[in-house]
Structure 1
Amino acid sequence: MLVGYARVSTNEQETQLQLDALKAAGVRTIYAEKTSGIGPRPELHRALSALRPGYTLVVYKVDRLARSLKDLLHLLERLRSGGASLRSLTEPVDTSSAMGELVLQILGAVAQFERSIIRERCEAGRVAARARGVRFGRQRMFSKTEDRLAFELYTRGNLSFKEIGGLLGVSYTAARDAVRREIAFRR
């Protein structure tokens, strides 16, 4: 028996392409979800629980199933120990044969390598940007002069952060952070 699993990463994406392909492949029981590969995947766990010896888990692409090579190998072992196999509709993967398992492991290793290279490139880009003076994160609400003014209002005016924020047209937290920065600067 065939059990299908489809996943997209965000609510803006649609599973329809995957669902249509799974149905065209003869899959009648399909578990689908819209969730990141990082968070919990309850439908995947339901699909895995539905598998019995001789069943096949069918996915549109292997990357819809596993987060990393380690995760993929763990899922493969779980399928193998339960007597089930895995088949991908868009890749030459069918773990009911030794060759299919080899191809799956190679594809998983290549995908993990690709993610590592992307991560390295992103980090190199961030390092280069910092070297050029680019600052990441939200822009500060106050200049150093305004930090001093908030500090003066806090220490001399006996005003609360909420009152300072109201006077300066910013939130309570922006006023509090300005005072804390000035305190840290004066130490």
Structure 2
Amino acid sequence: MLIGYMRPYEDDLDCEKQLRKLSKMNCELLISEEHSSAKKRTKLSNLINNLNQGDKVVVTKLFGLADSTRHLVELLEAINAKGAFLQSLDEEIDTSKTSGYQFIDIVKHLVEFQSDVISEKTKRGLSEAKQKGIATGRPRKPDENVQRAIIMYQSKKYSLEEIKSETGISKSTLYRYLEH
């Protein structure tokens, strides 16, 4: 069964463009979300849950289906697990065609690549900051406040709340310094 899926997005708020393209595909069932929100996509969840082996979900573009590459991987895995397929018209992707590299594998590699790029940029930024003498991470508490908090704690005359309001040192920070 060919199942067309669409959801509103900025360039097609009424889904008219998507409907025209999907109608040309002779989809036996057309499903349209009422909203563009990434949350509460109940019709998409129902569609995935009710797929049968051999069904094909047709979308005009991948963005109409997924909100991120990770979300796309999750959906592809769920569709694949049902023995169903995905076709995206604008990207000319059809997972029912088995020639070449599997689309789901390509997307998984893209997610990994995206994660590696972010990680590398973060590490480079931290390294450059360190070379410039810029302290990274959470700012350390001034030593005099920590010492005062420890003295107050050890005197057993103050509650943790009183120590925090006097010194600005939280319970977890105080305990961390007491362990050393």
TM-score (norm 1): 0.62
Q: Specify every segment of 5 or more residues in structure 1 that has no aligned partner in the other structure, as ranges.
A: 7-13
Give distance in 2, aligned partners of 1:149 and 1:131. Answer: 30
2:58 alignment partner, SS class: strand
AA aligned to 1:34 is A
AA aligned to 2:51 is L
1:151 and 2:147 are equivalent in the alignment: no
Give distance in 2, aligned partners of 1:135 and 1:92. Answer: 45
Q: Which residue pairs with 2:62 in the alignment?
A: 61
**Contact 2:32-2:43 within 8 A present in 1 as well:** no
1:77 and 2:73 are equivalent in the alignment: no
**Contact 1:3-1:51 within 8 A present in 2 as well:** no
Same amino acid, percent of matched pairs: 18
Give distance in 2, aligned partners of 1:175 and 1:53. Answer: 57
Give distance in 2, aligned partners of 1:110 and 1:164. Answer: 51
**Contact 2:76-2:104 within 8 A present in 1 as well:** yes
Give distance in 2, aligned partners of 1:18 and 1:87. Answer: 19
C-alpha RMSD of the superposition: 3.9
**Contact 2:55-2:85 within 8 A present in 1 as well:** yes
Q: Specify every segment of 5 or more residues in structure 2 that has no aligned partner in the other structure, as ranges.
A: 24-29
Distance 1:45 1:106, change over 3 A: same
TM-score (norm 2): 0.64
| Paired positions, count | 164
Deviation of residue 17 (structure 1)?
3.9
Q: Which residue pairs with 1:23 in the alignment?
A: 19
2:93 alignment partner, SS class: coil
